[in-house]
Structure formats: structure tokens, C-alpha cells
Chain A
Amino acid sequence: MSSVPSPRVVGERRWVNASFGFLAWIVGLVFFFPVFWMVLNSFKSEQDANTSPKLFFHPTLDRYKDVTKSVGGLLSFSEAFTNSMVVVLVSVAIVMLLAVPAAYALAVRPIHKWRDVLFFFISTKFLPVVASILPIWILARNFGLLNTRLALIILYVAINLPLAIWMLRSFFVEIPRELIEAAEIDGAGLRGQLTSVILPIAAPGLAATALLCVIFAWNEYFYAVQLNPVQGATVPIWVTTEISTRGQFLAKLSAASVLACIPVVLAGWIAQKRMIRGLALGAIK
């Protein structure tokens, strides 16, 4: 994206660019401030966090120790992280297994009405989750899936599959037709074409798609809190347990928030260029 040269860098306008750049820096820093402050608070003592904002203090890792040690009977850090890891990785693996062939059927050798099918997939994202939560809750209860990881795995497949298909399709469409045809002439079936041509070429796109799915699954709260409030609880629920009605909690909450966010924020920063395209296309979330 950023490789497109900006046309406006010309001598007399240099000061205009410089001032735009300066403004961009200010805007960026102000906009980022809440995140910066959260990270800073996570290294403070509760006393330092719960006074008028201070920039200088004795940094400590104690809040991280507080939030990660497990207390009997309460949802522990390691438990929530294990649940989240299992739910996210399994659901994204299923999503990719289903989405790759589907994207093939919509992009490489498109079925007759491929556009309608594509729109059906995206239209499922337009269905508000509130409209399906009651039947899902009833079904989960009747099948004994309340408070199990399986319930969330199934639902996160439903959340991410349309997005994955849309993104993968856009990557598959760009693969040179001749390469696929050559593989076909060599007698490669769907599997052969996928493993020998399509997947190697689209690998970066595949990774970006999977990563975006990981982000949405990792951050999901609504289904998690409705279906798994007790057992199988995931990281977003664990974060909310750090709020207490008694005593001060801001520093601890900040430390828990940093831990909860850091995996996907780092991944997102690293892969931003490739993900941006999936987001920009509009198939957001």
C-alpha cells in the first residue's frame, strides 16, 4: 500500500508536507495515548495509578505477578489463556480447511452463480448476533454444550468463515491463470492444484487471513460471556474479573489488559500491510 509513490513531493510544497507530517505525528501520539497510558499504568503500584496522572514513578512488575498467580476457585490466567488458545486455534484451523476449497470454487473455477454465493456468505455477517443468541443458547443447553470450549469453537467458525472466504477469494483471483491451467494439464486435481500452485503462491494471503480470524476469535466477548461464563471461559472474561468493587484495581486491570491484548496486537503490527487489504475491502469483522 505504502509503496504507491505520493505524487505531491515537490520542492515548493515541501513545507506543506512537513507540516502535514508534523500534524500526523501529533494526531498519532494523541490517538495512541490511551494505549500508552494503559501500558504505563500496568507498571505502577495501585497508589501510583490511582492518583492524579503521573508520568514518573517506580516501575514494578508486581501487578503482572498479581494477575497471573492463581487463586483457588477463581478463573486463573493460565486457565483462561489455555481455553482461548484451544478455542482460537481449533476454530481458525476449521475455518481455513473449509474456506480454502470454497474460495477455490468461487475464484479459480467459479461455479455458475458465484457472486450470489459470495453475497450469501457476507450477508450472514449482517445478521445481528442478538437475533441468534437465544436459539443458540437453547440449542447449546439442550446439547449440553453450555460452558464447553466446543460451543465457542463452533460459533467462532460461523463468525470467521465468511470473512475468510471473502479474503481468500480476493487472493486466489490474482493467481495467474496459466499456472493453474498448466497444473491441470499435468493432471492435477483440486488437491494437486491447491498444494502445488495455489497455496504456495497465496501463502502470505493465507497467513494474513488466518491472522485476522485469530484476532476476531481472540477478542470475541458476546458469545463467550453468554455461553461460557463459568467453565471454558476465555481471556476477555478473565480481564473483567480484575475489576473489583472493593479497593483499587486500575494498575492490576491495566496489567491484565496488556497481557490479554499483547498476542494479537503484536501479530497485527507485524502483519498489518497484508491485513489492511482484507480490512479495506470492507469485509471487516
Chain B
Amino acid sequence: MKTTAGAVDALHPRPRRLNPPGLSESWRRRLPLLPALLVMILLTQVPFVMSIYYSLTDWHVVPPGPRAWVGLHNYGTLFSDSFFRSAVWVSVRLTVIPVIFSLLLGTAFAVLLDRKFFGRGLIRTLLITPFLLMPVVVGLIWKNQMFNDLYGVINWVIGKLGGTPLDFVSRYPTWAIAVTLIWQWTPCRMLTMLAGLQGQPQDVLEAAKVDGASAWGTFRQLTVPHLRPYGELGILLGTIYLIQVYDLVAVMTGGGPGSTNVPYFVFQRSIGGGWEFGQASAYSIVVVIASIIIATLSLRLLSGLLKGEEVA
């Protein structure tokens, strides 16, 4: 309870105020909420607390060894582990590159879709499809039909343009995964930005037009500031999900230099064969700390949007 919610608690302190006269009424209101709340606390907070505990121990699980308390030792050795350092660097690139490019592409697509044209519904349908596909399929399809060095579509195009074919996935694993992630995540960013565009006050846009503002001027002076919170939200939420990417790494490269990010590294060091649960837990807690920082920012932003929704 005082774990991830800790970040939230810091933002929204929850004073325990029990006023006996209103107790029965307030409990009557709380009752429908309790099952869901208990389930979520049980399923998310309990494992997380256990994870923190594991991270303070030295524990080899298969073959079973004793669990020895080592305090912060696992954290002390974290950054002297060069494999972990490279996993962090891969994680940073696999997060930052897709977040930025999917936001830019998503915004561009949203601007295109915000106008009326023949077949708009169909094009929107095509554009959201990558989001609906199974991520495993996305990874396998990009690896085997797009990036393949022998008969992949991209290499065929490169060949037609007179270039030499490349084995993208093994030569540039980070970029291959990043491009796939951009393709997978652009639809979500597009939808967020489209919601922002269509939520613009129409009268202000009309007034700008009546005053003779150019389309580009209107876009820069009115639309961009209006879209800013949506873009920020897209960046933060995108970061939180991309920092955890596992499936694409697993099916596209199965780890290896340049593509093992922190989640995959945690897996390798524990269930994936390392079985060092103490050390691996410490690695995963680092991801959590990064996520909490980003999450605190996004909650603040969401809270602002939510207040706006109430006023409206």
C-alpha cells in the first residue's frame, strides 16, 4: 500500500478523518469499491513489497539455496555490473527514440485525420490497426518479412534503389526494435492527439479565421499550445509503457548485445536461467524508481486534465 501509491500519497495526502456520525453513510458509499480495491492491493502491492524484500537478499532459487540477508549490497554492485549498465543504456534508447518519433508521427497523422476527406473512416481504421495486433506478431512480422536480409520488403526496396541489402536485426538491433515500436505505438499517440485536436474550441478557430489569420499561424498560435498537455501526456504514458517492453525484445532478438533492455536483463538473470532472484529484484527496483518519477509527473498532468473535465 505504501509503495507505488507512495508516490501518489506524496502528491495527495490522505488524512484519516473518521467522523462517527457519518460513518455508516460513508461506509455504505465505500462498500461497492472495496472488492476491487482489495483485489488490486493484493495483486499489485503485495508482490511489489516482496520484490523489495528479495532485493535485499542473496538468493539463488534453482537449485534452491538459502536466502541470506545482504542489505543494500545488491544495489551497491548494480552499476559496477557492465552488463547492467549496457542494459540501462539500451532501455534508455528503446524508450526515448520510440516515444519521440511515435509522438511526432502520431501528431502528423492526427492533423491529417482532423480534416474531412473521402474515406477518412477507412484510413483511420487502417492507421489504428497496429495497436490492435498482438505485440508478438508485430515483432515477428517486422523481423521476418520487413527486415529480413534475403527476402525482406525493406531490403527489396533498398535493392531497387541500388543499395546493398542489410541484416537490420543483427546489425542494428536497437534501431530495428525501435522502428517496430514506433510503428506499434504511433496509433495510440495519434488517437490522443486527435482527441486534443477535436477538443479545440471551434469559436476561437472561427474568430481567428475571420480575423484573417493564416492556417499555419492559427496552427502555431492556437493549436500547438492547446495540444501541449496531450503531447506531454503522450510522452509520459509512452515512457511508462516503453520502459517495460519485453515481448519485442524476446521475439526479435532474444536478447544479445544492443537489444537486452533492463526488463529482458532481469528475466535473463532470474527465470530465464540465472536464477539470482535477489540480484534480479534489485535490477527491477531500478526500473520502478524510474517509473515512479515519471508516474508522479504524469499523475500531476492527468489530475490537471481531470479537473478540466469536471469544470466542463
Check: B72 CB closer than 8 A to any chain A CB.
no
- For A116, the chain B residues whose CB sits under 8 A away are 8, 12, 14
B256 within 8 A of A: no
B134 contacts partner chain A, Cβ-Cβ < 8 Å = yes
Once bound together, how far apart are the Cα atoms of A126 and B247, in whole Å?
18
**Closest Cβ–Cβ distance, residue A7 to chain B (whole Å):** 5
Interface size class of B (residues with CB under 8 A): 35 or more
Q: Among the listed B117, B195, B244, which residue makes an inter-chain contact with A129, where contact means beta carbons less than 8 Å apart?
A: B244
Does B71 belong to the interface (CB within 8 Å)?
Answer: no
Q: Tell me the complex Cα distance, A236–B134, Å.
A: 7
- Residues of chain B contacted by A41 (CB below 8 angstroms): 145
A 231-279 contacts with B by CB, 8 A: 235-236, 239-240, 243, 249-250, 253-254, 257, 260-261, 264-265, 268-269, 272, 276-277, 279
Which residues on the B side are within 8 Å of A219 (C-beta)? 133-136
Do residues A130 and B35 form an inter-chain contact, with CB atoms below 8 A?
no
Also in contact, A130 and B114, with CB within 8 A (given A24-B120, A24-B123):
no
- Asked whether A157 and B39 contact (CB < 8 A) given A1-B195, A132-B44, the answer is yes
Say which size band chain A's interface belongs to.
35 or more
* Cross-interface CB contact of A6 among B108, B116, B153, cutoff 8 Å: B116
Check A123 against B4 for contact (C-beta < 8 Å).
Answer: yes
Q: Does B47 contact A (CB under 8 A)?
A: yes
**Which of A34, A120, A124, A158 interacts with B183 by CB under 8 Å?**
A34
Identity of the chain B residue whose Cβ is nearest the Cβ of A129 in the assembled complex: B244
How far does the Cβ of A136 sit from chain B's closest Cβ, in whole Å? 5
A35 to chain B, nearest CB (A): 6
The answer to whether B141 touches A34, judged by C-beta atoms less than 8 angstroms apart, is yes
A-contact bits for B171-214, CB 8 A (1 contact / 0 none): 00000000000010010100110110010001001100100000
Q: Is B130 an interface residue (CB 8 A)?
A: yes
Give the CA-CA distance A101 to B159 in the complex, in Å: 59
- Chain B 112-135: CB-based contact to A (< 8 A → 1; otherwise 0): 111111111111111111111111
Task: Name the residue on B nearest A268 (C-beta).
Answer: B132
Distance (whole angstroms) from the CB of B242 to the closest CB of chain A: 11
Contact A25 B133 (CB under 8 A): no
Decide: A105 and B30 in contact? CB cutoff 8 A: yes
Mostly helix, strand, loop or mixed at chain A's interface?
helix
Taking the closest CB of chain A, its distance from the CB of B305, in whole angstroms, is 7
CB of B36 within 8 A of CB of A161, answer yes
A29 to B112, CA, bound (A): 13
A7 to B183, CA, bound (A): 30
Per the bound structure, the CA–CA distance linking A212 and B156 in Å amounts to 37
- Most-contacted residue by chain B among A28, A53, A109, A264 (CB, 10 A): A28
Is the CB of A106 closer than 8 A to any CB of chain B? yes
Whether the pair A221, B123 counts as a contact (CB closer than 8 A) is no
CA separation between A1 and B119, bound complex, in Å? 15
For A137, what are the chain B residues with a Cβ–Cβ distance below 8 Å? 271
Residues in A whose Cβ lies below 8 Å from that of B247: 221-222, 236
Known: A121-B36, A134-B284, A261-B134. 9 other contacts (CB 8 A): A2-B120, A111-B29, A116-B8, A130-B246, A130-B266, A158-B39, A162-B40, A219-B134, A240-B136
23 contacts between A and B (CB under 8 A): A6-B116, A8-B215, A35-B133, A98-B39, A111-B29, A115-B12, A119-B303, A126-B291, A127-B291, A128-B291, A130-B287, A135-B50, A138-B277, A219-B136, A221-B246, A240-B136, A243-B144, A250-B148, A257-B141, A264-B132, A265-B133, A268-B128, A268-B129
Q: 5 closest Cβ contacts across the A-B interface? A: A21-B117, A101-B32, A280-B195, A126-B295, A135-B50
Q: Which B residues form the contact surface with A (CB < 8 A)?
A: 3-5, 7-8, 11-12, 14, 17, 26, 29-33, 35-37, 39-40, 43-48, 50-51, 54, 61, 108-109, 112-137, 140-142, 144-146, 148, 150-151, 153, 156, 159, 183, 186, 188, 191-192, 194-195, 198, 202, 205-206, 209, 215, 233, 237, 240-241, 243-244, 246-247, 250-251, 262-263, 266-267, 270-271, 277, 280-281, 284-285, 287-288, 291-292, 294-295, 298-299, 302-303, 305-306
